[in-house]
Amino acid sequence: MVDELWPLDGAQQVDDDLERFYAYPEQLERPWVRVNFVSSLDGAATVQGRSRGLSSPVDQRVLRLIRELSDVVLVGVGTAMTERYRGIKRTEVSTERRAQLGLSEIPPIALVTKHASLPPESPLLTDTLVPPIVLTTEAAPAQRRAELADAGADVVVTGDEDVDLLAALAALDERGLRRIGCEGGPTLFGSLIDQDLVDELCLTLSPMLTSGDAGRIAAGTGLGSAHRMRLESVLHAESLLFARYARMRE
């Protein structure tokens, strides 16, 4: 187990160390799901409805790095709409780092939406260099699926009434996308936990007390057994803590 504290000062050595800390396992033979979240000290996942209120430039730097190291960014459509997602730009990832790692120039965004509820005019479709992958269901209106496909999305049916997350991960695997950086939201994270599909959690603890009625970072059924995690690394900067936990599997 690695347990280190490190001030982020912008030096190249820090960038290299961060890449080492957040590196995915080598030679993956299956999809590896890494979930990235930020939380307040009292457990809130949002401030005034958005996670950006808990974030900071340092946290955004780590988020960008995780995107740089991922084959694909997985996110629920509700979170994508609330946080105003658009396609990832070349200026938001290091194409040089991705090339050195043998990754595509820009990672696509994969959206989980059982009703195919992404508007065709969304910036994820109109302001992107890489078409998004829409993971949806047979129950989603056929016209909506067709409109998204016509707008350039790679529409994949992965379940009947609900998105089958195992099938969704298999679809990403078929496309060579095994390093999966999941950015939530809480419902998607909770579903991944319920099905024991989380391999790793990268949690930023923001130095804020928020109170209020904001939800927690995971909102699932809670019907399954608890899953034990192992601490891999701890970093700190500007009173934020960056913890990385890996799933303990037999």
Which alpha helices (DSSP H) does 45-107 contain, by range? 57-69, 77-82, 95-100
Could you report the per-residue pLDDT of 164-173, keeping only the tens digit for each? 999 999 999 9
Residue type, 103: L
* Vertex 101: Cα angle to 99 and 106 (nearest 5): 50
The 10s digit of each residue's pLDDT in 187-244 is 999 999 999 999 999 999 999 999 888 889 999 887 777 899 999 988 888 888 999 9
What gap in Å lies between CA 18 and CA 23, rounded to an integer? 8
Q: How many other C-beta atoms lie within 10 A of the C-beta of residue 137?
A: 19
- CA distances to 41, 57, 129, 183 from 91, in Å: 31, 15, 12, 19
Residue 47 has a pLDDT of 87
Mean pLDDT for all residues in the chain? 90
CB 170 within 8 A of CB 5: no
Residues 236 and 244: their CA atoms lie apart, in Å, by: 12
Is the pLDDT reported for residue 30 higher than 50? yes
Query: Residue 24: which of 91, 94, 89, 72 has the closest Cα?
Result: 72
Strand partners, 38: 204
Q: What is the pLDDT of residues 16-26, one digit of tens each?
A: 778 888 999 99
Whole-angstrom distance, CA of residue 151 vs CA of residue 210: 40
Indicate if the pLDDT at residue 95 is higher than 70.
yes
Kind and range of the H or E element at 233? Answer: strand 229-237
Quote the CA–CA distance of 208 and 210 in Å, as a whole number: 6
Report the distance separating Cα 250 and Cα 246, nearest Å.
13
